[in-house]
Chains A and B, each alone.
Chain A
């Protein structure tokens, strides 16, 4: 059953529709194709999990737009939140 919400093809994260523990499989729909990533962290409902790697300093994309800058290397399956994402600089 799908438990990850993948909004835009450019996104690097999914939003979880239920909590997961390390080792749980997150299933999400990428343009009609079901994909899976194994969770590495304990992550709460409606929090984000990486499905693509982002290097430190790289762009964190959700809704197809920049929502923040990675403050640490992020690998698929990791919780993505304030501990590894910074507010982007604003014009």
Chain B
């Protein structure tokens, strides 16, 4: 069985990175969190655009994202930074984190600390202590069954459906067959193919959940007077060779391979380590927010197909980008890790590319930086259904 080097966490999960996460609980604390992270080697932060002035259902998703990031096994420990009066209060976030993990977490409130400068000092002292502890950890070997892989596609073009997503689907099948776990995401992209995915579910209940999340997603648009199903495939899709809605959808969901759908998870909910096989997470088609949901679910690494050439990454989950477009590979090799256009030109089979990508995933687990990691691309977004209150 394939093994990879990882960090054993006290909650039983296995990380492939060893970050101290400086997590702003709301937009109002994001700059302070970033200042703290910039001061400490081994710390990472992000720009949190939510966390206050949210309706209950949106705040719940934010709390799930925040707790999920702290619990993600690539994180050694978390320093929460709050303003003090926001919706996502320190104790609320801390409680949610403790429901998911027993890893270390501390918090600092800017208002309670008497301002930005004092909060930065407190936060830096916490973070440098955690960073020193984290640096003492030794990597150990773990079986591939400990891997939870996220899959994503964005900046798609016709090559995504016929090359890159096929390679990712084949990779997903191989990992599932070896006992690992893979996540298929992006609910709106199931539309037209949801009945095919539902038919692959292990039970009628899981199949119904697949249909339900698509329906629920559409409903949020109907409430705003919008319809995401109409006009699909678009005239542009048809001119590009897409004939039916099923074909368009299959191009996207093919990155989930062909294995049975074991379970459906709501956005940013924790996927238990006992869960194996292919699962679905209800996420937006928007790439940064979809990847955030899967990272919060516990995914250690993501494989991301992009025809046009996405520059995205993620703060805590390494993102391996793969293109089926030879021009994009030629132009954007600085951003993209894997060239799947070799399938289109016929020099390589899907099986050859699948195995090459599999090896790249293992190398990435073992510590090799992805292109977006090397460039420090950490932008995120979080799913929401309503405007700010």
- Which positions in A face B, CB cutoff 8 Å? 1-3, 5, 7, 15, 17, 27, 29, 32, 44-48, 60, 62-68, 80-82, 85-88, 90-91
Contacts and interface: CB of A to CB of B under 8 A. Distances in A.
22 contacts: A1-B346, A2-B346, A3-B346, A7-B162, A47-B241, A63-B251, A64-B258, A65-B246, A66-B196, A66-B246, A67-B243, A67-B246, A67-B247, A67-B250, A68-B244, A81-B238, A81-B243, A82-B238, A85-B243, A87-B245, A87-B246, A91-B195
Contacts of A7: 162, 166
Given A64-B258, A65-B250, A66-B246, A81 B349 contact: no
Interface in B334-365: 343-346, 349
A62 B247 contact: yes
A47 B238 CA distance: 9
Main secondary structure on chain B at its contact with chain A? helix
Interface in B149-194: 158-159, 162-163, 166, 193
A63 B253 CA distance: 10
Contacts of B163: 5
Q: Which 7 A-B pairs have the closest CB atoms?
A: A2-B346, A47-B241, A46-B158, A67-B247, A46-B241, A63-B250, A68-B244
Contacts of A32: 349
Main secondary structure on chain A at its contact with chain B? loop
A81 B344 CA distance: 20
A82 B234 CA distance: 13
Given A7-B166, A90-B195, A63 B254 contact: yes
Given A63-B254, A65-B246, A44 B346 contact: no
B244 A85 contact: yes
A42 to B, nearest CB: 13
Contacts of B159: 46
Interface residues of B, number: 25
B278 to A, nearest CB: 16
Contacts of B240: 46
B343 A5 contact: yes
A87 B349 contact: no
A48 B162 CA distance: 11
Contacts of B158: 15, 45-46
Contact of B247 (A3, A68, A86): A68
